[in-house]
Amino acid sequence: LSIRRQRQMCIRDRMTVKQKLQDILMVLSWREMARSYFGKSSGWIYQKLDESNGKKFSDAEKEQLRGALVDLADRIRRAADTI
């Protein structure tokens, strides 16, 4: 890998989950995401996104969030296909 690409990867690895999701933060219902995919409250997911009080997503929770986002993307794509 080029040095530039390695730096980009390092920067990406240090970004918080919230920073990585910046592009879609205002479009999703995080309350519904927390309830439907995690069985948790909106407060729980916001604390994880903001890393408040040192609360971060575990690796398993990150994988679960990734799966939820993929599922949501598939649902949006299917809905768009019906238009």
Query: For the chain, what's the residue count?
Result: 83
Nearest to 36 by CA among 65, 2, 3, 76: 65
Q: How far, in Å, are 16, 48, 69 from residue 54 at the CA level?
A: 12, 8, 23
Q: Tens digits of per-residue pLDDT, 12-70?
A: 667 888 888 787 777 788 999 999 999 999 999 999 999 988 899 999 999 999 999 99
Are the beta carbons of 57 and 51 closer than 8 angstroms? no
The single-letter DSSP state of residue 52 is G
pLDDT of residue 12: 61
Separation of alpha carbons 24 and 9, rounded Å: 21
